[in-house]
Amino acid sequence: MSLAAGSVYLDWNATAPLAAAARAALHACLDDERLGNPSSLHAAGRRARTLLEEARRTLAECLESSPEEIVFTSGGTEANALFLRGAAARLEPGLIAVSAVEHSSVYETARLLAAHGWRLVEIPVDAEGRIDPFAFERILRERPAIVSVMLAHNETGVIQDVASLARAAREAGALVHCDAVQAVGKMPLSRRALGVHALTLSGHKFGAPTGIGALVLAREVALAPLLTGGGQEAGRRSGTENVPGAMAMAAALVEALEARESLHARLHALQQRLEAGLAAQGAVIFGASAARLPNTTFFALPGLEGAALAGVLDRTGFAVGTGSACSSGEPGAPRSLLAMGVPEALARGAVRVSTGRSTTEADIDGFLAALAQAAGQLRRLAALCAD
């Protein structure tokens, strides 16, 4: 990722800059003129197949899974849709339950199923964005066929107790899916340990290039494929596999896991520094009392629009988000905050800061200073417009 000199990137949850290991793996594949189509039987095809299966084994080891459970996709959105739509196609239409704070790729897919005979129920959350256990228990009494709960929220960073939720959902007879896109590389992750039938990951969230992701799928679960034709990925996802992307994703995950513990501590310290500075400026931090990712802070300065604040910060050299990058172009307040009971006026002011391996204390201090200036500028402008 190339930023202007002096710019500070604080939008790692939208996409992480390419990791060194991923860059090396990507270049090695792209520079290899002997690399063919992994479905071809000649030497160049066999070489590509060998690399693809090497990437699959590496991902499986990192995720405490087996290679047969790794289904390569184009990213998290496709992986989410592959499970939800693929599983639904094998079942009689019934109840699908998704948390009220799910990523739009899960939420909108569930809405699509609801338009084709399924009944959609949103699982309520509390004021911190955590699943309401009593509401969840009531929903399980209705015997949902599919349940989907995100592990770590892309906007607030709030972590759900997916293992406990999945245990209860499985006992109720549901297939359980977990969007783990933001958790990969930031916390221990295993489909089996979580007790879910499927786990979604997206490479560019942890240092791989865009355009590569995976669904970790329990072998006992049969899906109807979204893409048909070539029968790749054991018939679960047709289309020529992205060998360079798969190799880069595997390398990025290895690098992320090797650095996770030390990076976690450093990012947590930066988070505390940031949030102390935000509190001093009167900010409201969403999900502050819940267990959260150490790199994610979602906040608002009362009376200010988040999009306007992010725009001023961008012009001063600080790249931040206003929520999910997949829905940041949509007008209105973030759906997740409204589900948490945040007043719409305050929710419209939401700004997300997400940090990563290259973020420093100086970046945080510079951001806090720029934020104070931007907020002052916007308040003065509002005062002038009011006169």
Q: Per-residue pLDDT tens for 232-277?
A: 999 999 999 999 999 999 999 999 999 999 999 999 999 999 999 9
Note whether 161 and 194 are within 8 A (CB): no
Q: Per-residue pLDDT tens for 170-226?
A: 999 999 999 999 999 999 999 999 999 999 999 999 999 999 999 999 999 999 999
Does residue 3 sit within a domain?
A: no
- If asked whether residues 376 and 271 sit together in one domain, one would say yes
Closest CA to 273 of 365, 374, 353, 359: 365
Identify the sign of the CA torsion 38, 40, 41, 43. Answer: negative
- If asked whether residues 107 and 220 sit together in one domain, one would say yes
Indicate which residues carry an active-site annotation: 326
Q: Per-residue pLDDT tens for 74-101?
A: 999 999 999 999 999 999 999 999 999 9
Report whether pLDDT(385) > 90. no
Both tokens of residue 360? 């420093």
Per-chain mean pLDDT for the chain: 95
Q: What is the pLDDT of residue 5?
A: 47
Q: Which domain holds residue 282?
A: 8-17+260-386
- Give φ, ψ of 284 to 5 degrees: -100, 125
- If asked whether residues 327 and 233 sit together in one domain, one would say no
- If asked whether residues 99 and 236 sit together in one domain, one would say yes
Q: Per-residue pLDDT tens for 30-88?
A: 999 889 999 999 999 999 999 999 999 999 999 999 999 999 999 999 999 999 999 99
pLDDT band at 328 (very low <50, low <70, confident <90, very high): very low
- If asked whether residues 248 and 270 sit together in one domain, one would say no
Q: Of the residues 201, 222, 254, which one is the last residue of a structural domain?
A: 254
For 133-154, what is the mean pLDDT? 98
Q: What is the pLDDT of residue 329?
A: 46
Report whether pLDDT(330) > 70. no
Note whether 368 and 278 are within 8 A (CB): yes
Q: How far apart are CA 156 and CA 369, in angstroms?
A: 22
DSSP letter at 330?
S
- If asked whether residues 181 and 76 sit together in one domain, one would say yes
Q: What is the pLDDT of residue 326?
A: 56
Does residue 2 sit within a domain?
A: no
Cα distances (Å, whole numbers) of residue 56 to 18, 224, 259, 316: 20, 21, 21, 42
Which amino acid is residue 46, in one-letter code?
Answer: R
CATH assignment at residue 277: 3.90.1150.10
Q: What is the pLDDT of residue 292?
A: 98
Within 13 Å and on the Cβ side, how many CA atoms surround 175?
A: 24
DSSP letter at 15?
-
- If asked whether residues 246 and 323 sit together in one domain, one would say no
Which residues lie across from 217 on neighbouring strands?
198
Report whether pLDDT(382) > 80. no
Q: What is the pLDDT of residue 182?
A: 98
Note whether 363 and 10 are within 8 A (CB): yes
pLDDT band at 310 (very low <50, low <70, confident <90, very high): very high
pLDDT band at 2 (very low <50, low <70, confident <90, very high): very low
Note whether 232 and 239 are within 8 A (CB): yes
Residues above pLDDT 90, as percent of the chain: 93
